[in-house]
A and B are shown apart, each in its own frame.
Chain A
Amino acid sequence: MRRTLPSKSPRTSQQRDDFDKLYRDHVDLVYRYAHRLCGETETAKDLVQETFLNAYRGFEGFRGDARISTWLYTIASRACMRMRRKRMGQPERELSLDEFIPTSDGEFRLQIPVDGLTPEEALENKELRQALDQAIQKLPSKYRVTLVLRDMEGLSAKEVGTVMGANERAVKSRLHRARLFVRRELSARGITKSDRDSGAAPRKSGGSST
């Protein structure tokens, strides 16, 4: 994807150096975040490019009220939601708590092989990783951004609120719904394969995990 900036006054070499340093110091963070949001390498690269171009445009205006990482998360989140809106062409739905109330026996537990495994060990199962990624990708944007920032990037609810322009209460409510959504998607998926694609360490527990 090729984009150009709107015409602005030419940057001084000092500003260009500062911006270059910003890129070097934060490109890995922005790419990691973009990949978690988009779930796909090429789209994540587009988002990185869009984020840094927008950051360049606003660099002079950045007054340091927030941490630079928070500022970049904000730019990336907005760019991602714009890209998503363009693709979807319609407003995304709100998640209601009622839709996550289990209605049958099978819906209470995760139908996936996690018993006796640490999350890292469980995630060695490729099918489980794909199921998790798909569940996250199916989330409406504002819930996905909230979940990724809080549970994957490790920001506090307050920091997520700063990025999203929402109060902590709203952030916690969105996070809860997003988690319930991912839980339900994993539960509905019913992964039974327990072997891991790396063929690494044996299972810790002797019991059945399905």
Chain B
Amino acid sequence: MKKSKTSVRRPGRSAHHAAHRLGRCLYILRQLSAYIDDELPSDICRELRRHLGACPNCEVFAASLREAVGLCRHRPTPHLSSSDRAALRREIIRASRLGSQG
């Protein structure tokens, strides 16, 4: 079931969160990166998938971790301009010559 997008608290939630802190969910939380990187043995992977199918909070959490990793992997970076590249090279050569003379 989809959760409401607003942060309205519903009865029984705190009990669920308390349960979430317990054993199984914590075990899943520890394995999530290995799961995302496809590094888990197939039996553990199956077990984890079964849990995610049955625990909406863990499923949402796993999806959000995967999204965060996806953003990191695709973050573009600025390039060094050719003038900066040349200026840095000059500076490094100058400093290295000074070092050799010193």
Bound: A125/B92 CA distance, A: 36
Question: Pick the contact of B17 from A28, A35, A104, A123 — CB < 8 Å?
Answer: A104
Contact with B along A1-18 (1 / 0, CB 8 A): 011111110110000000
- Majority-rule SS of B interface residues: helix
Chain B contact residues (Cβ within 8 angstroms of A): what range? Answer: 35 or more
Q: 1/0 per residue A114-135: CB within 8 Å of B?
A: 1000111011000011001100
Contact across chains for B98 and A4 when beta carbons are under 8 A apart: yes
Residues of A within 8 A of B91 (CB): 2, 49
A63 to B76, CA, bound (A): 33
**Interchain nearest-CB distance for A124 vs B (Å):** 10
Instruction: Given A11-B100, A172-B34, answer yes or no on A35-B77 (Cβ-Cβ < 8 Å).
Output: yes
Residues of A within 8 A of B (CB): 2-8, 10-11, 20, 23, 27-28, 31-32, 35-36, 41, 45, 48-49, 52-53, 56-57, 97, 100-106, 108-110, 114, 118-120, 122-123, 128-129, 132-133, 136, 147, 151-152, 154, 172, 175-176, 179-180, 182-183, 186-187, 208, 210
